[in-house]
């Protein structure tokens, strides 16, 4: 291992020495310096002497039987060390998957989507590996493609997966439906009779890509004990491990995983990508193997956000009260299940939005098709629903002749509201207040592009492309608000583990925090150090690299890590504190009566009473001793949703954000410039205000992306991806980005550590419908799909 370039592996670093740096402060990232100097070792930066490069051969068609695979010529290529297919898999376990193990490590007999892995090559140079992969001959016999609900559930439809026996297969209406969740509460049909107005809508949500910048990559190093050391970028080390080890035929302790630097995730690293492939090649060749996807491959190498078709009906009385809601949400899960069941759970249980609606009739399904597999992406399920129900809210308000914001406020949920699942909302739900705040923000000035020197095109729709100097430009304003669950729901045992150690090093008390939490950019490591300082009164906190030598931290997803792993760190720190105080009492208890009687705290390197009296220096207490605790921590348990009625206390906590979008649309060319996207969000408690704002702004922009430009386009005839590159899958640039003023509310949730609320996803929800509402406001068009493209705004879409 001497030559493995892993020294920059994040966080084996010590931080903090001058300031208190506890929770609530905007302390800076412990990895900041490494990241600005280029020394931070991301998964694609791993290097090892004599390492080989892995290459994956992927299917060129979406749905086909594999007639034959000929690897002979590839294997004979000089510089090639191994070529592997399904037949080379070492054990009977040949599939993996988050919830349903339906995903083949390498295709067996059939490919189910464009870009499915078929064979692996290891060679001494990436170009050698690519050329060899190109020499593998695969003969396909193409099958008809299943691309939508009609083709998936037709009576004679080919089954994407034959012989299903997973735990959802018993209750789905068709084997090409992954999961179905109805929610019925009250009597929607009867309530509809009371409605003075009823509005309906059919909405389409496009396929969004996480488009994290750091490509899927990593390094697998075979070990002398027959195991393997894997350095990889992921969101959940232990979930990976559970899926990897059985395929390799190794016990979990022989697959030692270390988190390499993660270049963003957003849900796209919840599923495995190159992990098993690199390990297989490393174990086969006995050499370290590095795999790095290029951007083209990355579009095939991870799941995307579920595209969706949503049908909604809402009614309201003349006085503006919503009577009922009926909806049907069809999510395209693509070829493999991934997180589809959980996406269905979120979409159905959050389909009413943050509103009080007593009578509902809800159904959500996810399909198996031959489209690209879809799974986790920031806000999943809730994002698609929010786009539709917020469009419905505007329609309802308009039908009633009411102000769109006031109508929402009138129907806004609050603490105590009963969800459609029957679960009461038992912490603050300041929906009306968030709307009030964004509405109260001053609007950006009109015609900011005008200057004494003429029109600054950079501030106009079209930007540098010089399409307008103000002609055709109309401003629009739109509002939206959303609700997202925090943490894993529906009865999942959602725990995390923290190991905290406290000792004296170089005459200073130092805390070490060791978790398996994947730092993907969100700033969890910053917060862990802050928690340790607050709880243990030390300046120095060392964050140990995340690996599988400590218990699971759960996933860096579902807005859960600060809550759950933060909670685990807090809990472990409290246990360490108790032990430190025990030592203190043992060593020094006789010196001062307060040791026995007072509530004791650790602050600024000292043991103090709650009255502020100093009893001892931590250095003296800990002299010659080290205290270490590893402990699991859980949030409140949840329940599954009833499969027939959808009733159940399924969620832990909710997160709310509201947006106001101001757009300027070139109505003739159909080009949109988002001028401002103001956000108000309740965060419970901002452990690190700077990071909180950064998360909200980042989530807001991802929501804007799917509103106006981002979409993976899948050919409806071939089910092949048409734009797998950053040339044609467009992400917002800094010149597309509006100002994003953020107003943060801190209403504590008494059930959560420090009262905090998971924050990462909520801003992604309401951003999209707010932008759509603003574009509708500017253009007067109905716009029932997202993203909106210029042709939708100019009546020039193809049929």
Partner 1 sequence: MDFLRPASWEEALAAKAEHPTAVPIAGGTDVMVEINFDHRRPEYLLDLNRIGELSDWEVGEETVRLGASVPYSQIMDHLRTELPGLALASHTVASPQIRNRGGVGGNLGTASPAGDAHPALLAADCEVEVESVRGSRRIPIDAFYTGVKRNALAPDELIRAVHIDKADGPQQYSKVGTRNAMVIAVCAFGLAVHPESRTVRTGIGSAAPTPIRATTAEEFLNAALDEGGFWDNGKIITPSVAKQFADLCSAACNPIDDVRGTASYRRHAVGIMARRTLTWAWESYRNDHRMGGAA
Partner 2 sequence: MRVNFTVNGRKQEADDVWEGESLLYVLRERMGLPGSKNACEQGECGSCTVRLDGVPVCSCLVAAGQVEGREVVTVEGLADYANNRSCAGSSCGTTLQEAQGWSAEGTDSQTGEGTELAPIQQAFIDAGAVQCGFCTPGLLVAADEMLERNPNPSDADIREALSGNLCRCTGYEKIMDAVRLAAARQSEPEGV
Q: Is the CB of 55 or the CB of 653 nearer to partner 1? A: 55
Minimal distance in Å, beta carbon 763 to partner 2? 9
Considering only residues 292-311, where is the footprint of partner 1 by CB under 8 A?
294, 296
Triad 329, 332, 337: Cα angle to 5° = 115
Considering only residues 288-317, where is the footprint of partner 2 by CB under 8 A?
292, 294-295
Q: With CB under 8 A as the contact rule, which of the stretches 20-28, 324-332, 606-614, 649-657 interacts with partner 2?
A: 20-28
Q: With CB under 8 A as the contact rule, which of the stretches 27-35, 235-243, 545-553, 645-653 interacts with partner 2?
A: 27-35
- Report which DSSP code applies to 44: G
H/E run at residue 82: strand 80-84
Q: Is the CB of 42 or the CB of 312 nearer to partner 2? A: 42
Tokens of 58: 């992927």
23, 34, 232, 386: which one binds partner 2 (CB under 8 A): 34
2, 717, 734, 799: which one binds partner 2 (CB under 8 A): 734
609, 697, 718, 794: which one binds partner 2 (CB under 8 A): 697
**Total number of residues binding partner 2 (CB under 8 A)?**
80
Contacts of 133 (CB under 8 A, 6+ apart): 55, 56, 57, 74, 119, 121
79, 90, 589, 689: which one binds partner 2 (CB under 8 A): 689
Residue 698's binding partner out of partner 2, partner 1, none, with CB under 5 to 8 Å set by partner kind: partner 2
Residue 204 in the binding site for partner 1 (CB under 8 A)? no
Minimal distance in Å, beta carbon 314 to partner 1? 32
Minimal distance in Å, beta carbon 573 to partner 2? 18
Q: Is the CB of 62 or the CB of 132 nearer to partner 2? A: 132
The residues that bridge with 512 in the sheet, in sequence order, are 501, 542
Minimal distance in Å, beta carbon 649 to partner 1? 44
Secondary structure class of 664 (helix, strand, coil): strand
Contacts of 27 (CB under 8 A, 6+ apart): 16, 19, 21, 526, 529, 530, 688
Considering only residues 713-752, where is the footprint of partner 1 by CB under 8 A?
713, 722-723, 725, 727-728, 730, 732-736
Residue 4 in the binding site for partner 1 (CB under 8 A)? no
* Residue-by-residue DSSP string for 117-144: EEEEEEESSHHHHHHHHHT-EEEEEE-P
Q: Is the CB of 32 or the CB of 637 nearer to partner 2? A: 32
Q: Is the CB of 37 or the CB of 798 nearer to partner 1? A: 798
Considering only residues 434-493, where is the footprint of partner 1 by CB under 8 A?
458, 461-469, 471-472
Q: Is the CB of 105 or the CB of 211 nearer to partner 2? A: 211
Q: Among 161, 137, 141, which Cα is nearest to 57's? A: 137
Please return the burial class of 94, using the count of CB atoms within 10 Å of its CB with bins 0-12, 13-18 and 19+. middle
Residue 76 in the binding site for partner 1 (CB under 8 A)? no
The alpha carbon dihedral of 391, 396, 399, 404 has a sign of negative
- Encoded one letter per residue, x for contact with partner 1 by CB under 8 A and - for no contact, window 121-160 reads ---------x---x--------------------------
Minimal distance in Å, beta carbon 290 to partner 2? 9
Residue 698 in the binding site for partner 2 (CB under 8 A)? yes
Buried b (16+ CB within 10 A) or exposed e, 4-29: bebebbbbebbbbeeeebbbebebeb
Tokens of 429: 């739900």
Q: Is the CB of 489 or the CB of 522 nearer to partner 2? A: 522
Question: Whose structure tokens read 């809730």?
Answer: 382
Residue 708 in the binding site for partner 1 (CB under 8 A)? yes
Residue 38 in the binding site for partner 2 (CB under 8 A)? yes
| Pair 638, 491: CB distance under 8 Å | yes
Residue 31's binding partner out of partner 2, partner 1, none, with CB under 5 to 8 Å set by partner kind: partner 2
Tokens of 752: 């959560």
Please return the burial class of 412, using the count of CB atoms within 10 Å of its CB with bins 0-12, 13-18 and 19+. buried
Please return the burial class of 130, using the count of CB atoms within 10 Å of its CB with bins 0-12, 13-18 and 19+. middle
Cα–Cα distance between 157 and 198 in angstroms, integer? 36
Q: Which residues bind partner 1 (CB under 8 A)?
A: 130, 134, 294, 296, 458, 461-469, 471-472, 668-671, 673, 708-709, 713, 722-723, 725, 727-728, 730, 732-736, 789-791, 794, 796-798
């Amino acid at each position: 291992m001497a030559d493995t370039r892993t020294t920059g592996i994040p966080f084996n670093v010590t931080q903090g020495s001058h300031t208190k740096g506890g929770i609530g402060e905007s302390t800076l990232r412990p990895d900041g310096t490494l990241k600005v100097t280029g020394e931070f070792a991301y998964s694609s930066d791993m290097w090892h002497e004599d390492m080989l490069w892995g290459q994956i051969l992927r299917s060129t068609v979406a749905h086909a039987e594999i007639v034959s695979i000929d690897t002979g010529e590839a294997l004979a290529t000089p510089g090639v060390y191994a070529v592997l297919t399904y037949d080379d898999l070492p054990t009977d376990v040949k599939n993996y998957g988050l919830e349903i193990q339906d995903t083949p490590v390498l295709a067996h007999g059939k490919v189910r989507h464009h870009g499915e892995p078929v064979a692996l090559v290891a060679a001494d140079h990436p170009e050698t590996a690519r050329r060899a992969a190109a020499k593998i001959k695969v003969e396909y016999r193409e099958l008809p493609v299943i691309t939508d609900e009609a083709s998936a559930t037709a009576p004679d439809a080919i089954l994407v997966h034959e012989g299903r026996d997973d735990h959802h297969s018993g209750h789905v209406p068709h084997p090409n439906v992954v999961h179905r969740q109805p929610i019925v509460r009250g009597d929607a049909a009867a309530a509809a009779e009371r409605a003075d107005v009823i509005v309906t809508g059919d909405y389409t949500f496009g396929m969004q890509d996480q488009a994290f910048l750091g490509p899927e990559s990593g390094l697998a190093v075979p070990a002398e004990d027959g195991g393997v050391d894997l350095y990889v970028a992921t969101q959940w080390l232990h979930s990976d491990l559970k899926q990897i080890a059985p395929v390799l035929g190794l016990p979990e302790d022989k697959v030692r995983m270390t988190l390499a630097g993660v270049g963003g995730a957003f849900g796209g690293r919840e599923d495995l990508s190159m992990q098993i492939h690199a390990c297989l090649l490393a174990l086969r060749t006995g050499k370290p193997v590095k795999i790095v996807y290029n951007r083209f491959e990355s579009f095939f190498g991870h799941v995307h956000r579920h595209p969706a078709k949503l049908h909604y009906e809402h009614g309201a009385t003349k006085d503006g009260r919503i009577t009922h809601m009926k909806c049907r949400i069809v999510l395209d899960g693509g070829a493999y299940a991934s997180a589809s069941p959980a996406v269905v759970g979120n979409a159905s249980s959050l389909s009413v939005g943050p509103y009080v609606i007593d009578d509902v009739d809800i159904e959500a399904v996810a399909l198996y098709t031959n489209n690209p597999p879809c799974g986790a992406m920031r806000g999943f399920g809730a994002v698609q629903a929010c786009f539709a129900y917020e469009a419905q809210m505007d329609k309802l308000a308009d039908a009633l002749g009411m102000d769109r914001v006031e109508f929402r406020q009138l129907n806004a949920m609050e603490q105590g509201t009963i969800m459609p699942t029957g679960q009461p909302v038992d912490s603050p739900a300041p929906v009306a207040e968030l709307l009030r705040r964004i509405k109260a923000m001053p609007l950006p000035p009109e015609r900011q592009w005008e200057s004494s020197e003429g029109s600054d095109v950079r501030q106009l729709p079209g930007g540098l492309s010089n399409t307008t100097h103000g002609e055709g430009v109309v401003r629009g304003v739109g509002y939206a608000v959303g609700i997202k669950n925090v943490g894993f729901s529906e009865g999942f045992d959602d725990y995390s583990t923290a190991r905290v150690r406290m000792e004296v090093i170089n005459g200073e008390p130092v805390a070490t925090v060791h978790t398996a939490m994947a730092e993907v950019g969100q700033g969890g490591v910053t917060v862990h150090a802050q928690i340790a300082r607050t709880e243990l009164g030390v300046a120095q906190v060392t964050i140990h690299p995340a690996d599988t030598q400590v218990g699971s931290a759960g996933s860096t997803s579902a807005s859960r890590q600060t809550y759950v792993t933060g909670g685990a760190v807090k809990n472990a720190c409290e246990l360490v504190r108790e032990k430190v105080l025990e030592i203190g009492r043992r060593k020094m208890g006789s010196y001062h009566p307060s040791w026995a009687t007072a509530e004791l705290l650790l602050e600024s390197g000292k043991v103090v009473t709650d009255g502020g009296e100093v009893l001892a220096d931590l250095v003296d207490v800990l002299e010659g001793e080290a205290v270490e605790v590893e402990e699991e921590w859980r949030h409140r348990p949840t329940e599954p949703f009833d499969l027939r009625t959808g009733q159940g206390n399924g969620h832990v906590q909710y997160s709310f954000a509201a947006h106001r979008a101001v757009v300027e649309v070139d109505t003739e060319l159909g080009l949109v410039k988002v001028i401002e996207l103001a956000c108000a969000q309740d965060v419970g408690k901002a452990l690190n205000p700077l990071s909180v704002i950064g998360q909200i702004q980042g989530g807001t922009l991802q929501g804007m992306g799917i509103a106006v430009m981002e979409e993976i386009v899948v050919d409806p005839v071939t089910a092949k991806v048409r734009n797998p590159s950053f040339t044609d899958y467009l992400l917002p640039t800094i010149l597309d980005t509006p100002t994003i003023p953020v107003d943060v509310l801190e209403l504590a949730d008494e059930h959560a550590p420090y009262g905090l609320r998971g924050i990462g996803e909520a801003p992604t929800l309401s951003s999209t419908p707010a932008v759509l509402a603003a574009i509708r406001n500017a253009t007067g068009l109905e716009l029932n799909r997202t993203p909106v493209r210029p042709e939708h705004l100019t009546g020039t879409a193809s049929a």
